[in-house]
């Protein structure tokens, strides 16, 4: 995935580095979601629906990624931290955010 910062306050690369440094992929899901919700880089990164969709397709089998994205009904741009906060209370959103964490951690 290209590191585009157009429309974002921080670059995807900066967010990726912060996620790796915090070792979010190694934490239990509940702790990873809380940590991401509190992360300044995640507050500054506005995740657009199309970016989220591409991340899911990169980190999950394509058909499952598409179904998960549709089930979540994600249609607006919002800070990744807000999405992580909401994911603490919704299983589908939790799957989305964990997939984002794993996608960014592996690159």
pTM over 0.75: yes
Numbers of helices and strands, H then E, in the chain = 7, 2
E-state strands within 9-100: 46-47, 78-79
Q: What are the domain boundaries of the chain? A: 12-106
- The pair phi, psi for residue 39, each rounded to 5°, is -75, 125
| pLDDT one-digit tens code per residue, 5-43 | 334 458 889 999 999 999 999 999 999 999 999 999 999
Phi and psi, residue 17, nearest 5°: -65, -40
30, 84 Cβ separation under 8 angstroms: no
Cα–Cα distance list, 66 to 25, 69, 72 (Å) = 22, 5, 10
The answer on pLDDT for 3 being more than 90 is: no
């Amino acid at each position: 995935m290209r590191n585009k910062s157009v429309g974002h306050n921080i670059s995807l690369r900066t967010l990726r580095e912060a996620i790796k440094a915090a070792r979010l992929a190694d934490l239990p899901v509940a702790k990873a979601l809380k940590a991401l919700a509190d992360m300044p880089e995640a507050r500054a990164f506005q995740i657009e629906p199309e970016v989220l969709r591409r991340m899911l397709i990169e980190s999950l089998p394509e058909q499952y990624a598409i179904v998960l994205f549709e089930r979540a009904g994600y249609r607006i741009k919002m800070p990744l931290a807000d999405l992580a906060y909401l994911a603490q209370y919704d299983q589908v959103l939790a799957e989305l955010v964990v997939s984002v964490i794993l996608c960014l951690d592996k690159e």
